[in-house]
Structure 1
């Protein structure tokens, strides 16, 4: 395994990775997003729609769909938290903002990186970077932050491949991995690897989320539970100060209400516009949509360890997929704002490969059930899901389709915390659950391992396949994506045969904007970043 990586490293080590260069993990398809609007002359990125003298508002108001968990990046792992944390903190490296996730890894707090060996990468840090508390970032802050991530009960699962962090000098660190690890750079782009102020975090570890201190474009001002969070532009930001002084993020869990607030001008940007509201926004002369193909795959986890029960049989799991018309599901439930999923990662991911597509075929489903020992079906299954209207519609469609082949589907909704608990504790009744996986790193080698490796905390299918485990370990040890192609082809073949989960659709990121918002670029992961040039004109 190491020999194969060493061949690639021999060439990689010959050149120091400077400026906009990157490691060997950048072969995904760029996903830059699009803006559509009814109002002419207000294209995102085109400047003021009212001419050169138009005044920039000092505050952009943003409607979020969910309340946050924690603004400590080593605790708050949910998207709802990362949406805000990503404005406050920076990482060592990031995906090129113009190309999007899966395009090219570019410098952030690190200006360059070099592979010293197949398990050691040296990072040169950007000098003179200030934290919001006025302290200058050094290697001590970087070491402290990454080790804090590694030791975190909440986000440490993202860092299981890491072994240690060494300080070379004030502006140089070495990250050591336990074994060759190709997704390292991609993993360092995500929020859990944010660099925090050691002085601020170590002074009050338990309450750092109440007063987060990073190096990002915006600094924390206030947060009111269930209501709003306010951020202020950081004048000493190493990137330059943002043009918009304040971001006022209000919590609006009612889906339709976010669209209404956008229409009335009470907010300038609204996240997670409902698919059936998109046309309404597009037809408004005062609004526009910002969209891009999402990195989030909605899927059904199967309890593969349900021995003696139908769902424990891979042929039954295959039959269920043959009952589903995924394109029809996207058209009916999502109003066409999505795409059918067969692989668990989208094509903009590094190391993505297309897989076999099983079309809807009820006769094939019946034949598979008969082969599994269940001619005509004649059994029931439980499906558990979060209290989400879209997921419920999906489950109801699935229920109707499975009935056609003699399977009764019992639907039960519950809060997400209860769902997570029952998946673990009530395995006698756990057959299926509706979930999603968001490929935040943009690297399928990270995502597939995270979801399906037998010992992964995220493996809610409890799938264990020794050959698949071996392929996942072997594949993620090879930097050269082309060299690992055959490994992932075999792995995806096993996954499609065993069906530990049922990929259903990839989402489309749907953000509503006031027509005077300029410079906003939607991100595939839904964690949109407000760059220096994002403004709203009065």
Structure 2
């Protein structure tokens, strides 16, 4: 590491150690079930063995950092929505902790050819309004996903839905699609009640009806969400809890203090700096995972200065990722040199983005632009603003001025993606269960997350080839090549870091299992007493 980088780390370590001493959470706390460097949390079987048999009844109160952008799955725009949608909506396909497809509302499936997926549905499933879940409901949902009113593009490759009988549907594809199964575990597979949608129309999100383990019974926007057990849920003995209350608390230290005081039982998304303060408290359990989620700078390549590839590459090589990990994350995590963590099967373990400030300065000179500057919105959350300010400082050293504008999470998302008012957003790609979904959303033209529509014929061709490749052993090489072309060559987005997702809870909370996507699933929780 060069002298400038070492000096930067020392400065950040001093500043944030001092800040923690005077303003951090006061007590040393936290009994972790896994260290922040662990690859994966305990398996579900190990959890059951360690925690005992699940108990019925009781309730849990959870502190979550943001409300859902919309409770209609096809209209939301934030990756943080999922944790609040999953209790309401079961999906056609589920997944395990390592993101392998598992039965959901479809109990089995088979590809009858490379463009036809046949789903066999569970019998006896009902929506919260008492109406039946069947093949016609699947057809309604998929066609609604692909309608003009939807923000979801995961299922756009489905050409038609054939109802074979009440419990069998065939999905006919326009072209082969290796991501389809796990796409049906995401928003596209969340089944809403057709009767409720037809009855409520535009107001459906105010009274969301799914076939999940819990009903949403009340909602105070940006305040509180209350779920109650759906007594006719199809899984025998589940859910275990009678009630889940989610309190929306944006500030991380406030979430932690609420956990310590007993106001809540579970605090979501704990940063690495606070993990250090919590890990020795016997009254707090920590569970973590290094997910496919990563922090990045989304850039609109159709807006100055990012319409110039040399400027994009200058930013790419002007960020010292290791300094951020050491100085802000206490060494936890890894530099994001691509869109997948290095131990994930779709990544290239040898791909690097070198920190080269002199190269960045040369690229700016070659770009032929002077006084490069841009506005970057970010979420008004402590960890986001710390990293955004660190990036601002690093880019200033290479001659780029950045104005950081913190905003409430949903406002920041809308300002950049929907309204396209600013050229950059520092936030997170919250991950998708299949890598095809990630590369399609980030690097294909005319997708919601690629605001500038930047791609190349070669990248588009590689994405198309990956979609039609079902053989697992052939898929990694394609995603590795896509990462090289889209990140190293075109700098369509600026990956920054992967960091552990850590959840904190009191010891009475059982049954929670971290997963590689890094989005919490609350419906498996049970309380010891």
TM-score, structure 1 length as denominator? 0.82
Distance 2:195 2:283 in 1: 46
- Candidates 172, 175, 181, aligned match of 1:176: 172
Gaps of 5+ in 1: 1-29, 36-42
Worse overlay, 508-517 or 320-329 = 320-329
Alignment of 1:299-310 (within 5 A): 299-306=296-303
CA positional deviation for 1:188: 0.6
Deviation at 1:317, TM superposition (A): 2.7
CA 491–276 in structure 1, closer or farther in 2 if over 3 Å, else same = closer
Q: Does the 8 A contact of 2:80 with 2:430 survive in 1? A: no
Change (3 A) 1:431 1:130: closer
What do residues 322-360 of structure 1 show as CA deviations (whole Å, max 9, x unaligned)? 332202112222333432101123356563334521222
The yes-or-no answer on 1:530 pairing with 2:518 is no
Match of 2:463 in 1: 472
Contact 1:149 1:159 in 2 (8 A): yes
Pick from 441, 451, 474 the counterpart of residue 460 of structure 1.
451
Residue among 360, 383, 389 paired with 1:396: 389
Match of 1:156, SS state, is: coil
Q: Is the 8 A contact 1:62 1:248 kept in 2?
A: yes
Kindly tell me: are residues 76 and 499 of structure 1, through their superposed partners in 2, closer, same or farther at Cα, counting changes over 3 Å?
closer
Aligned to 1:139: 135
Instruction: Tell whether 2:402 aligns with 1:409.
Output: yes
Match of 2:23 in 1: none
- Contact 1:345-1:447 within 8 A present in 2 as well: no
Question: Cα–Cα, structure 1 residues 280 and 246, in superposed 2: closer, same or farther, change >3 Å?
Answer: same
3-state SS of the aligned residue for 1:83?
A: helix
Q: C-alpha separation between the residues in 2 aligned to 1:491 and 1:113? A: 29
Question: Aligned partners of 2:407 and 2:283: how far apart in 1?
Answer: 38
Task: Report if aligned partners of 2:317, 2:357 keep a CA contact under 8 Å in 1.
Answer: yes
Between the aligned partners of 1:64 and 1:212, the Cα distance in structure 2 is: 19
- TM-score, length-normalised on structure 2? 0.83
Partner of 1:333: 328
The alignment partner of 2:175 has SS state of: coil
CA drift at 1:225: 2.5
Residue 48 of structure 1 deviates from its aligned partner by 5.7
* Aligned counterpart, 2:511: 519
Contact 2:93/2:189 (CA < 8 Å) preserved in 1? no
Task: Return the offset for 1:134.
Answer: 2.9
1:454–1:464 CA contact under 8 A, matched in 2 = yes
Match of 1:262 among 254, 259, 268: 259
Q: How many residues align?
A: 486
Q: How far 1:468 moved relative to its partner?
A: 1.2
CA contact (8 A) 1:381 1:431 kept: no
Shift of residue 434 of structure 1? Answer: 1.9
Deviation at 1:433, TM superposition (A): 3.1
Shift of 1:414: 4.6
CA distances 1:212-255 after superposition (whole Å, capped 9, x unpaired): 22222222222223322221222332212322211111122222
How far does residue 95 in structure 1 lie from its aligned partner after superposition?
0.9
| Partner-residue secondary structure (3-state), 1:276 | helix
Q: Which runs of structure 2 are paired with 1:213-252 in the superposition (5 Å)?
A: 213-240=209-236, 241-252=238-249
- The residue aligned with 2:378 is 386
d(CA) in 2 for partners of 1:274 and 1:493?
Answer: 30
CA separation of 1:419/1:145 partners in 2, compared to 1, >3 Å: closer, same or farther?
closer
Output one character per residue of 1:425-447: Cα deviation in whole Å (capped at 9) or x when no partner.
778xx55432321222x222221
**Among residues 196, 213, 222, which one is paired with 2:192 in the alignment?**
196
Distance 1:488 1:473 in 2: 11
Counterpart-to-counterpart distance in 2, 1:353 and 1:153: 37
Determine whether 1:449 maps to 2:449: no
- The change in CA–CA distance for 1:79 and 1:361 in structure 2 (over 3 A counts) is closer
What's 2:17 paired with?
none
Contact conserved, 1:111 with 1:125, CA < 8 A, in 2?
Answer: yes
What SS does structure 2 have at the residue aligned with 1:379? coil
- Structure 2 unaligned regions, length at least 5: 1-37
